[in-house]
Amino acid sequence: MDIDIGQAIKAINENAEYRIEGSDWDTLEWLNSTAPISQADIETKQAELQAIEDAKPSLEDLKASAKAKLIAGKALTEEEANTIVL
């Protein structure tokens, strides 16, 4: 999943009110007296959140890990168990 500008803004200020068209920085408008956040700060937060997202194991990886552990008789993590709950 790609982290968008809005997710980064809300991660910085969960009460921020703004309007933006897609990912067009030129259309970013701060509403209702929301203190503006610099584009650099938003891009930094966006990159930070994207790195966290990218580090998460994929569903396929979790399923493979769960299967291997089950075969070996080892305990599963909660994430692994969630991939096989019926």
The verdict on 33 and 67 lying in the same domain is no
Looking at the structure, tell me whether residues 47 and 75 fall in a common domain.
no
In this structure, the answer to whether residues 65 and 84 fall within a common structural domain is yes
How many Cβ atoms are within 10 Å of 43's Cβ, its own excluded?
13
Query: What is the C-alpha to C-alpha distance for residues 36 and 14, in angstroms, rounded to an integer?
Result: 13
**24 to 20, 36, 53, 77: CA distances (angstroms):** 7, 16, 22, 40
**Would the pTM count as exceeding 0.75?**
no
Give the tens place of pLDDT for each residue, 9-58: 999 999 999 999 999 999 999 999 999 999 999 999 999 999 999 988 88
| Domain membership of residue 66 as a residue range | 57-86
Closest C-alpha to 17, from 27, 2, 4, 28: 28
What's the confidence (pLDDT) of residue 86?
Answer: 58
